[in-house]
Amino acid sequence: MELDPTEMQAVVKRLRRAQGQIGGILKMIEDGRECQDVVTQLAAVSKAVDRAGFAVIALGLRQCLSDPEAAGSMDVEQMEKLFLSLA
């Protein structure tokens, strides 16, 4: 199933922000920052990536429900499997 690129812009924005956070984490490690600071930032980027994944699944569900007969459309079982892969 191909997702609507226009609707994916929010996901792209979230992932670009996470990409910047990862760069910041690498610099923190190279600079010898405190463990607590590094872990806090790792938790933040992990949450951002998880939220992006859930947003993609939500968009896919909306598209499947609006046009279940579309070519490449996923069934409920496939969507459930994707959802659970993020848990």
pLDDT over 90 (residue 27): yes
Q: Using CA atoms, how far apart are residues 28 and 59, in angstroms rounded to an integer?
A: 34
Q: How confident is the model at residue 79 (pLDDT cuts 50, 70, 90)?
A: confident
* Percentage with pLDDT > 70 across the chain: 91
Looking at per-residue confidence, does 74 or 57 come out higher? 57
Average pLDDT of span 7-23? 94
Average pLDDT of span 1-22? 89
pLDDT over 70 (residue 72): no
Q: How many CA atoms lie within 13 A of 80 on its CB side?
A: 3
Q: How confident is the model at residue 39 (pLDDT cuts 50, 70, 90)?
A: very high
Task: Using alpha carbons, list the distances in angstroms from residue 63 to 2, 67, 73, 78, 83.
Answer: 9, 6, 8, 14, 15
Looking at per-residue confidence, does 67 or 86 come out higher? 86
